[in-house]
Structures are given as structure tokens and as C-alpha cells.
Structure 1
């Protein structure tokens, strides 16, 4: 199948033309064929087909067009137009599309290793693909832009074809051949196509030069000289400029070869020097090596358009101007610069018309020659830059349409556009190469301060420097402001300056709007829609380092789909980043700015938004921990969520684990935020949901700190059930850290609370935890006593899982007290209960105990088999600490059975898990390996 865009839009099989439908449907085909073989997002297709005039049901209309196209393109087989995640792909070899075949041939011709003979053949083949104006049968802004861009590519290819053919016609390119020589027949075929193209591009000097030389080499000397006179008159009359050096030199050579006296063309009285508009380079510029290298690579790849994007104050202009000065010598025809001020007030934004007028002035166009309307000015600008090597910096563009009218048409120029938005339109439609700019690393930020203040001053106060760098959040503008303040106060200790930065954003101000962090952020904020602005403000209330779309939806009280759209708006404006798929974040200074804005909203709105957010985290976390541990001793279910809270439905334990892993830093921050904003009940309930995650991940210090905050919150709100559960959880955390006295005190307090509440389940669970404390201290008799009390209590309840857990605990202590036979009976009772209710966590624990009993009885085969079943269960449950502990004991059983290599392998697996958890047990296994297997590698 073949697709044609270089003329009317067509699709062909080997034998017939397919019906691509009405114009808009054909435009859909062109929108995907232009990127054949690559995914084109639905939003991009809609933008290409409808531009800014998409109807409300644009997606539905697109689906209809795609369905019709897929039917038309099937032709007896599967349609090449296929749906992929987020968009559509025309799944064909790109060279099945004439546009891509044209580009491949021109790329082949550009290869310096290609001979002129092969170059002429390739370019002739490429030019023969054109059947008229590209996309000739459709209309719209995207089609117009593509027509203009592709016509320029055709012009470039035609000039390159003519130049190669001329070199061949002149016997190898020495340029000495006279008119009508042996090469006349070889270059005669150039004249017709070049004349036709010259009518389309009347100001293209490189094309005119090729045509004039072809006429001359074909023996049409008079016509060649007349063609020069006509192009010169057109340039002077229409543009107010003389021909460039290439045309003037060619004209002089033709006159010499014709034997005529050389009469140089009149020159302007005051020649206009090459423009050099770049702003001052920052002498203290440092870092950004990767981005500078990327820009260098773009230059070497002969790319014509690059975008440098990032958040306000991240240093886009400094980087671009610094790099532009570095490479200015590569652009002998000048450097143009325009600050478009796209994020200033409405009265300060530089319009494309104003910018292009400035460029025309810089290029020497007299005011009387400047056309009145923007389209004509843009055409003139493109004509003047055609065939020249000019570097153009379009700084601070608001969006793609702000920069588009200022893009030249020829390949010799390079344009770098900077913006706080991602300029996806330029990347998709014009093939711009993106250079995203991120915050500075700690090292880069420190080097920036050192360049401004001197290394000696920084070395004298390293801790203050660290605090300053942290307060500036890696934002170059903030660092520059702080460095300026420090430079103005050379005798002030940096520690004093660091202390001042803790207060508010006023410290990041040097009395100039360009040097005021708040003003810079404000200029981005003002561009947002009302809904996106509200979300940005509310993110200032969010406690965690990042936020998901469902959480943002609850914060706003809107559907998740709407929240995703608004988050995408904030990412495009570089007020948020998306550091991981579906996770959105702002650096600390932007968060402080958002919080300042939120503080001006009505208190009731802030309180309602905070409640919705905290309820989202509580209800999702409660569901997640219930999925993971359905048989745990639970606190009462939380109250129903408020209107607008949209907790996601978690499919299974794996989904719950992924959610906890992603949200863990947010959840711990949410506990503290809830406790400090008056939501004490939510604070302790969220903290309780984290207990099992803390234990599985070995995050013991976070465990203790969070539970202390939660316990105080439960006490403040008078929730004795909450206090009882949290004292128990706190005791378990202390036990994990071997803080036995603290663990015993917390668990004893929990037991008394549960006794006062007449809660036998809570009492039994706490007895089991107290047994664990006594066991850890070597008092197995006391541990067994607590386990037996738990057993007696659980037998009065309908909790088979808890009863099985108590049986297992009792069995373990029987083993430690020298009665493994009694333990086997308890374990079998426990396993029967756990298998009946499918309690896999419980089964793993009981199998571990049963294996230990067999091990102590010397029945190694049964011990090893039970241990392996337990390890497999804990691995499937992603219970890393228990997997490591059971694996360690499996190694012991293998060692005692005489299988030394297998024992070593199991110990190493357990040690690796403990190392990943930074668990102290890793060192114990390492010591075991050294003692028992000294011949092995123990690292």
C-alpha cells in the first residue's frame, strides 16, 4: 500500500486508488501518515485536523473518521491504521509514504560519501514524487504549515540537485567551463524545473543562482544575465536589499567569461552589518554540561529548530544565550534575538508582528519596504533568511503559536525557542528537538554559588551552604538572588543568610521583577485557566512530595478525568513536573508559592479540600491494608467519605502493594499534616493503616515517629480505641528496634486500655505481642504464658485466623522450651484453620514454626520441605523481612543436614534481602558465613 501527501492526499494499492473519503477524513489520514510508523496521540490528531476550533465531540468525530478509514484501507487484509495506547499508528514502512520516501532520498543525497552522480539520481527521484502543492485538497492551519515547510524542503532538494548536476556538467566541478561547452547537454534539463520553482520562490537567491548557472552552462548567456537583472530588481524593489554575495560573485564571473567589462551592481550607501542581537553572556555561567552537549549535537545534526523548556527561573535564557555565544561563529550571517515576554502582562507580551518587524529592521529592510500585514512580513522574513546561516533565539515564548510566525523557511538557520510550556506543538508539527531543563543538582548549585561568591567563602561555612542550596530547591534564579544578596553583604555570615531564607519568599527578591522569585512564578500562574489555577493553589495544601491524579481529584472534588486534564495543563506550564508516570510534583519554592496563594482562599474552602484529601488517603489505605492482610486485628471502619472523594478501586494484593509503595512518603506526611490541622481522628487512622507496610519494609524509625504523632492525635480527640490500638502498634515498633523496655511499656498500656474497653480480641493480640517481647529477652516461659492467655481469649471469639496465630505462637515457645512434639500438634491445628480460610500470611508463619519443630527433632527432610513452602509463600506475598528470616533458618537446616553448598546459597539470599532493607540481621548472617564457611566468599 502507498500513501501520497505531496499533492492531493491519496492511498493506493498496487492496482487501484482507495477512497479516502471527504476532506476532513483525508486530513485525518494525512495527520497519521505524516508520522508513519510512529504513535500519533489523539490530542495531536485533533489539533492537526481541527486546530483551535475542535468541536465538543471532536473525539467522537475522529473515531468515526478512523473507523471509515480503517474499512477503506483493509483491501482484503488487516488495516494498517491501528489503535495503540493513547493514539493511532499508520503501521507501515515509512517509505510507503511519499513524504518519507522523499526525505530518505534527500538524506541519502546529503551524505558526503555519496557521489555527485548518485546524488543527482537520488534527488531527481525525490523531486519526481511531487505532484503539485502538498496536501493540496485539504485546508486548515496544520495543513498550511506543512505545505510551507515541505515546499521549503522541496526547494532545498531542487537546489542541491541542480548544484550536483552543474558540477557533473562542468566536468567535475572546477567551474572553469564556458557557456555552451561539453556540459551543456547535461544541464539543459535543469532549466525547466528550476524556472518553474523560481516562479514559486521569487526571492530564493540560491535557487536563482542555480538557474542562472544552468542557463549559462547551456549556452543561454544573455538569458542568464537577464535573469540576474530581474532577480536583483525584484530584491531591490520589493525588499529593499541587494543580492547576496553568492549571486553577486556569480554575476561577476559571467561577465568576465562573456568578455564584458565588469560593472558591479550598485551597493547600498551604508551596508547593513550582520545582526548581532544576543544579550550579554553570563560570565559566571556554570554546569549544564549535558544540555550544552545536546545543543551542540543538534547543531551538528543540521537540525533547524530546538526548544529549551522548563519551569520559571530554571535558567533557560542563561543556558541558551551562553550556548548561542559559544557557537555564534558558526552563523556568519548574524544572530537574531527576541524576548517575546510570553508570560508578562497582556500589555507587555511581544507579539509575532512586533518581533518580526524587529528582525526585518535588523536585516536592513527600510521601513517603507515593510509590508503592512503579518503574513506578508513573515513571508519577507523567510525570503531574507533563505540560504543564509543565521542563529535565531526566540526567548520566553508563551506557546507554539507565539513562535511559529517567526520561524524561517530555509535549512541554513537554526532557531532555539525557550518557554515555560513544553512546546509539544513545535515538536509534533515542526520536528523541533526538545532540550528539557531540570533543577540543578546539589553539586551544580554549590558550584554556581562558588562562581559567584568564591570557593573560600563557601568552604568556611559548609553547613550553611548546604542549607542555602536546600532552601533554593535547585532553582538557578533563587540561587542567583541569594548569591547577589551575599555579594552585597560580604561580611555577613552565610549562616545568617540561610536562617533568613527559612521565613518566606520575600527573601528571594532583589528589587527587580526579573530578580524576584514570586514575580516570576506569578507570571506563569497568570496564564492558567481558573480551574488549573485553583488546583495549583490547592497543591500548596498537599503534604507530600508528589500527588496522583485520583488524589488531585479528591483535593478538588472533581472527577479523575478532569483532574488529569488540569494536571497536564500545569505540566505544560512547567508549574508541575511528572517525575514518574502518573505522579506530579513541584519543587519546594513553587510549593511555598502555591501555599501563599492558597492562604488567600476562604478558610472554609481550604478546610474542605484538606478533609477530602485526607479522607482519600485514609479510605484507599484502609482498603489496601485490608486487601493485603484480610485477617488482621482491625480498628473500626472509618466514617463514609465526604462528597467529592474518589478513592480508586484496588484490584488485588499486588495493586495494594504498588499503591502503598508509591504513596508511602505522602501517607507519612499526611499523618503529620492531619495532626497539625485539626483532623486528629484521620491522623491516627491513617497511621494505623501503615503498620504492616512499616513492618514489611523494615522502616522502623518511621514507624515509631509516625505512631507517636498518631497516638497524641488519638488522645486529643478522646478516642480510647484508637489509643489502645496505637499503643499496641507502637510497642511492636519498639520491639522491632529491640527497645524492649519501651515495647513492654507501650504494650502494657495497650493491654490496660483494651481491658477497660472490654475488648477480648485487642487483649489477646496484645498478649501475643508481649510474648514476643519476653521471647526476645530470653524468657520463653513468660512468652508461653502470654500465648496461652491469648489462646484462651481467642477461643471465646469467632476469629479462626487469630486463634491459629495464637496456636502457632504457643507452638514456637514449646519448641524453645524443649517440647517440639507438642509444637507439631499445635501447628497442624493452626494450618488446618488457615488453609480453610486461605490465610496465606498465617500459613507461612505456621510452616516456619513446623519446620523449626522438625529441625529440632532431627527430621531434616520434613524441616527443609516446610521451610521451602514458607519461603515460597512469603516471596509471593512480597513479605521481604519474613522471607529473609525463614530463608536464614532454611540455611541452618540445610547446614545441619550436611548440604553445605545449599546452606550457603540460602544464607546469601537472606543476607541480600536484609542488606536491601538495611536490616541489622544482615551482619549476623555475614558473621555466620564467616564462622561456618570460612572457605567461602563472605562479602
Structure 2
């Protein structure tokens, strides 16, 4: 059977690195440095147990951050009532070999009758699908001379089981691809154990059999332990002088031990190599896999290629296609879209299973998948660039983005209501199933989904813009504001908003450009990037009067006022008044509800500005007017009503009446919590409530609200978190 590249399939595949990758290295066997281990490291067990000796490969000299996994192996051995089989899982280079050999050394006293070792990946010639070679080797070293070996496979298997019965033997198996390669090597002694791992298709079938294997998945090393491993493998790295470069090297390797070993090898063998220069080289994602290599030429990409070449043609295509997805996770629907299939065709499901079995993907709850490691994503992208045309790659990304924008449009509508949008939500959602439930929990469910896709949103805008899919880029950026206006992930908002605005300009859509330039001014101002905020607003104002969209022009004046609020409040008042006038002129039109809401927004922000100018009587009247307007809409805007109540509380607090301010703050916070999301506004209201409570001498209660506000700002990455930390410290809280 042939693979997608014409090579033999699975058991017919030899263990070589083809092409011009340089000399081969058994890159999956890592124990602190890169070297190979022969499968003929075995144990001789005679009748006298004290004569037992082992040639098990030595445990790695450098071993970092697997104490938890070693402890878990120990617990599994303790709980076993019969032969314990542990299946170590993870992608190539994650450190499975090092862990198993360390465990064999750590738990050697438990197995006084000896330890057996076999590595299928070291077999010469075509790989064998059955374990006969391992059984033969074990029997020879268990004392059976060659001329007395049973003549059939069944006979050799029976003899192996007989000779391990009643003994405490440990067997370590590496490089297995098929369950049978492990199953037949399980010793029969009740105090025995077998530890196995494989880099090809997963051996998950062993886990679902009666009394089957116990899975032990491995995670990448933490950044701290990645740095520790680099320093241990390359002693010339100076903790202080090379500290920044060391951090960047560890981050580029993303905790993959094989990558760390290769990087340390480059630095250790070439005394002229500069850690900072290598870190610069690894910072480029397009060059990273080629730069992570062993001196002599073997790259990390070549190591991953051992798994890739075993895939079927369909799975290999899906692997390359999924590398284009900018998000961390995907489902069968996105996989089908990547291949150009309908979501319900089912063609992608077996291919996802194959990639999962090959330890390239991992399945999560809810039928979602992700790549097992960030460097595997880069490998998938690199292979797509090598094997697929730009048109094919762009088509895959377009189809996946189109599918992703459907729930994104439903989420926008669930969170923001029937606002005026430059994105045609009806066109995006036509004929599609709404994934969010009707009723009171709808907004919460939509915000929860948006939060789960937080990492995908700016990455999708970035990927679409880079691929020239400008319409998808700006539309995704517009829809993402449904999250950012409620939970202010400022850095994400600024990045996606700026990229989206430029994409809208490239796409020739002034409505999208105006919306994005006005909204992105908010995170830019909050981040202190006032010059950028001003440029975005000015560009939006240039466009606003020329497109004939009254409500969008009014929105531009509103956001202009919010920017001016920070630099020139008198001018801000005029901007809000102009926004109200424009909205009022459109209240009799077909978009009358949005016009009324826009007018209420202008009145609200004008009231806040008046409060800032000390004109409290006028401010109170404007805020009360705004509150009535929001609650009087056909669908009352509870979120904005809560913000108005908090502003009225601020006004009373400023006038020296904290007792009167309290119910405004508590009502606002309750409404915001009840709706879900709106955490930025909740944090602001809690800070003000803390001020009122402090003024009333209730400092303990005030600190409780400050801690919640701090947690919200930390989650959103806002600079306000530092101020709250200082405030709590000054108040006696570390």
C-alpha cells in the first residue's frame, strides 16, 4: 500500500530521512543530547534471579520537569492488580523516550527479574508489522539458544509468555505503530509491567481493550523548565548575560524537548554561535523549523517528516490545509471546509481520526481538535507552501473563514442587538442554524463563545489580510468588536481594528473603514496611544460626510466626541450635539430604533462630559434624560441603562453624597452581571462603588469590589490593573 508521496505505507516504511535533509538522526530518541539507541539492548535472565543483568539504555543524564509524570507512572504501578501496561502519548520530540528510560531506571528495584527493551524504529530494512523480531530477541536473551527456538511464531509467543510467568519483569517498547507490536510483548507475570510509546499512529486501541493500557499523555515543558534544559545542555549559556536571548530561544521552541536539544546542540558545538543572533533567526516563523537543526543538517522539519510520510494522501492534504487555520482549535466542519467539502459530508472525520492517531492532532471536548504542538502547525504550513499552490492555500483559508464568520455573525447579533452594521449579517446567516439559545441566556452564551475564540479573532484578521482576503479581514474585525466592547481585550482590539481598517480601505469599503477607525480609537486611547487614536478619528471624519449614511456619520461624531473628551471637552460637547442632531433627523426612517438609540448615546456621553466640566445640574438632567431614552426603546437597552446609572452614582459621589450614590452602583453592577459580559463597565462601577464604601468607612467591603475590578482588568490586559494593584497595596493588601 502506498502513501500520498508514493512511499510504502506503515509497516513497509523504513526509518530514514529522505531528500536533502542531510545525515539521518533518530530524532525521536532524546535523552539530553541527540544519539541513537539500538533495539538489541536486552536482559539476560537465568534461573537464579540474582544473576539477572540488563543492558537497558542508560537513563538520560539531563532530565527536566517530568516529576509529575514519573509520579503518575509510580501510582499506576502501585494500583495495578495484574500486569500494568502504560502507553506514553505525545508528538514526536515531546520526550517520551527520555521519560520511559528514566522510569526504567527509577523503578528498577520493583523488577528484580530484569528489564527488557526493544525499539521498533531501529529495525533494519522494511518495518515489520508483527513483534516476532522482538520476541525472538527476548527469548535469546532469556536463555534460549538459537537452535532451540520454537519454529513458529505461535510457539515463540507461547515460550515468551511461559518464561515471564511468575516473574517481575519490566518491558520498554519504543517506536511501535500497531497495537499488535505491543500487545504480544506484554509479560504475563502479575508484578510485571510494560511501558510503551510510538511516534506513528496512536496505539489507542490498546486502551479500550479489557484490562487495557493506561494512557499517559505528555505536555510540553514550561518556559521555566525549557530554559533550565537549555542551560543544562549548553553550559556556556550565561544566566545573566544571555538571559533575554535564552527566554526568546525557549519561547521559540515552545517547550518541545527535541527542539530544545537541537538548539542547544547548535550553540554547544559552534562556539562562535551567538544566542541572540540565533534567537533572531528563530523569531521568523517561516525560517524556524529549518533553523532548529542538528549540526550536520538534520532539521526539526525532517524529524516531523517521519510521521508525515506515513499519512494517507487525504490525511496529508488535510494536515497541510489545517495549517492555514489561524485559530487554536477547529472542528469537523472547518476541516471539511478546508477540503472543499460540505460540513455534513463526513469525509473529513476519518482523516481527523488518522491525524489524531498519528499524534499530530489531539481531540478535545465538544468534537474540537487542535495540533498537538505549535511547531507542528509551522510544519503543516511549511509543507503546504512546498506542495500546494498559492491559489489552493488561499482557497482553503477563504472557505474556513467563510464558515467561521457564520457563528461570528450570530454572536454579533446576540450581543449587540439590531445595531447598524457595515457587515450584512442577514447574508452571512441566511439558511444557517443559530448556535445560541433563545431567551435570557442568549447573550451570555454568545459572549462565552466569543471568549473561547479570543485568540482566533485577531489571528483570523491577520491571516486574511496577509492572504489578500481584505473583505474577510475587515468584516471579521468589525464582528469581533462585539467581544471587545463588552470585555476590553485592549491589545487584541487595537491590533484587529487597525488591520481591519486598512483591509477595508484596500477593499474599497468606506463604511467598514469608518466603523473600524472610530471604534479602534477607544483601545488606542486606553493604551495611551493618543496620536494613533487621533489619526484614526481624523481619517474616519474625512470619510463620514461623503457616504450619505446619516447614522454612520452620527456614530463617527460620537466617537470623535469621546476622543475629544480626553483632550478638549468643550469641543466634545459640540461633537455629541451634532451626533444627536443627525440621529434625530433619522428617527422617522426605517432604521428609527437605531436612530433613537444613537441619540440616547449622544445625550449620555454629553451628560458625562458636563459632569467632567463640573456642570453637575446640567449633567444630572442629561443623564436622567438618557436613562429614560434607553429604557423607552422598543427593546430596552439594559446595558446602557446600567452605564447611565453608574454615571449618576459618580455624579452623586462627586457631590459628596456617597450614601445616595450606593444604590445607583449596586443596581448597575447587578444589571451588568445579569446580562453577562460587560465586564469592563462592571469593573468601572465596582471601583466607584469602592470609593463610596470607603467614604462611608466600609473599607473591607470596598476591597472586595476592588479585587474583582482588578481581576477584570488583568484578564483584559488593561493598564488600569497596575493602578488597582498599587491601590490595594497601599490599603494594606499585598
TM range (shorter): 0.7 to 0.9
Question: Partner of 2:585 in structure 1?
Answer: 796
Question: Is the 2:423–2:512 contact (alpha carbons within 8 Å) kept by the matching residues of 1?
Answer: no
Are the aligned partners of 2:177 and 2:202 in contact in 1 as well (CA < 8 Å)?
no
Contact 1:341/1:349 (<8 A) preserved: no
Per-residue CA distance 1:124-147 (angstroms, 9 max, x = gap): xxxxxxxxxxxxxxxxxxxxxxxx
Matching residue of 1:608: 395
Equivalence for 2:665: 867
Among 398, 402, 405, the alignment partner of 2:181 is: 402
Q: Which region of structure 1 is more displaced relative to structure 2, 907-916 or 751-760? A: 907-916
What does 1:140-155 align with in structure 2 at a 5 Å threshold?
Answer: none
For structure 2, the 5+ residue unaligned runs are 1-43, 587-591
Shift of 1:784: 2.6
Distance 1:903 1:285 in 2: 48
Q: Does 1:370 align with 2:169?
A: no
Instruction: Specify whether residues 471 and 870 from structure 1 end up closer, same or farther in structure 2 by C-alpha distance, changes over 3 A only.
Output: closer
| Aligned residue among 630, 643, 648 for 1:845 | 643
The corresponding residue for 1:479 is 260
Question: What RMSD over aligned residues (CA atoms) do the two structures have, in Å?
Answer: 3.7
State the partner residue of 1:306: 86
CA deviation after TM superposition for structure 1 residue 925, in Å: 6.3
Distance in 1 separating the partners of 2:465 and 2:510: 17
Q: Call closer, same or farther: CA 1:499–1:242 in 2, change over 3 Å.
A: closer
**Alignment partner, residue 597 of structure 1:** 383
Question: In the aligned structure 2, how far is the partner of 1:895 from the partner of 1:304?
Answer: 61
Aligned-partner Cα distance in 2 for 1:809–1:588: 45
Do 1:612 and 1:642's aligned partners in 2 also have CA atoms closer than 8 Å? no
Q: Distance in 2 between matches of 1:851 and 1:681?
A: 43
Q: Which residue of 1 aligns with 2:219?
A: 438
Task: Answer yes or no: is the 8 Å Cα contact 2:186–2:193 preserved in 1.
Answer: no
Whole-angstrom distance in 2 between the partners of 1:508 and 1:853: 60
Judging changes above 3 Å, is the alpha-carbon distance between structure 1 residues 295 and 761 closer, same or farther for their aligned structure 2 residues?
Answer: same
* Structure with larger RCO (C-alpha < 8 A, sep 6+): 2
Residue 585 of structure 2 aligns to a residue whose secondary structure is: coil
- Number of matched pairs: 665
Tell me how far 1:642 sits from its aligned partner.
12
Change (3 A) 1:281 1:920: closer
Q: Does 2:195 align with 1:416?
A: yes
1:311, distance to aligned residue in structure 2 (A): 0.9
- Which one has the largest radius of gyration? 1
Residue aligning to 1:889 = 688
Deviation at 1:654, TM superposition (A): 1.8
Q: Is the 8 A contact 2:45 2:143 kept in 1?
A: no
Quote the offset at 1:568 in angstroms: 4.1
TM superposition score normalised by structure 2: 0.81
Structure 1 spans left out of the alignment, 5+ residues = 1-240, 247-271
Cα 1:717–1:394 shift into 2, 3 Å:
same
1:254-273 alignment to 2 at 5 Å?
none
Report the secondary structure of 2:276's partner residue. Answer: helix
Equivalent residue number for residue 666 of structure 1: 456
Give the 5 Å matches for 1:704-719.
704-719=494-509
Give the structure 2 partner of residue 8 of structure 1. none
- Give the drift of 1:625: 1.8
Aligned to 2:335: 552
* Aligned counterparts of 2:328 and 2:110: Cα–Cα separation in 1: 44
For residues 400-549 of structure 1, what are the structure 2 equivalents within 5 Å? Answer: 400-420=179-199, 421-429=201-209, 430-455=211-236, 460-501=241-282, 502=284, 503-510=287-294, 516-549=299-332
The answer to whether the Cα contact below 8 Å between 1:317 and 1:395 also exists between their aligned partners in 2 is: yes
Question: Within 1, Cα distance between the matches of 2:58 and 2:657?
Answer: 82
SS in 2 for 1:406: coil
1:510 to 1:642, Cα distance in 2 relative to 1, 3 A: farther
Equivalent of 2:356 in 544, 557, 571: 571
Deviation at 1:623, TM superposition (A): 2.1
Question: Which residue matches 1:288?
Answer: 66
Write out per-residue CA displacement over residues 789-831 of structure 1, whole angstroms, 9 at most, x where no aligned residue: 1121111221232232223334444555232563265235414
Change (3 A) 1:564 1:874: farther
Cα offset, 1:890, TM superposition: 3.8
In structure 2, how many angstroms separate the alpha carbons of the residues matched to 1:632 and 1:388?
74
Offset at residue 275 of structure 1 (A): 6.2
- Alignment correspondent of 1:587: 373
Which residue in the other structure is 1:630 paired with? 417
Specify the alignment match of 1:336 in structure 2.
116
Deviation at 1:636, TM superposition (A): 3.1
Structure 1: distance between partners of 2:620 and 2:450: 40
- CA distance in 1: counterparts of 2:265 and 2:112, whole angstroms: 36
Residues 624/641 of structure 1: CA separation in 2 closer, same or farther (3 Å cut):
closer
The answer to whether the 8 A contact 2:474-2:500 is kept is yes
Whether the aligned pair in 2 keeps the contact of 1:275 and 1:363 (CA below 8 Å) is no
Distance 1:855 1:487, change over 3 A: closer
Q: 3-state DSSP class of the match of 1:338? A: strand
The 8 Å contact of residues 129 and 178 in structure 2, kept in 1 or not, is answered as: no
1:192 alignment counterpart: none
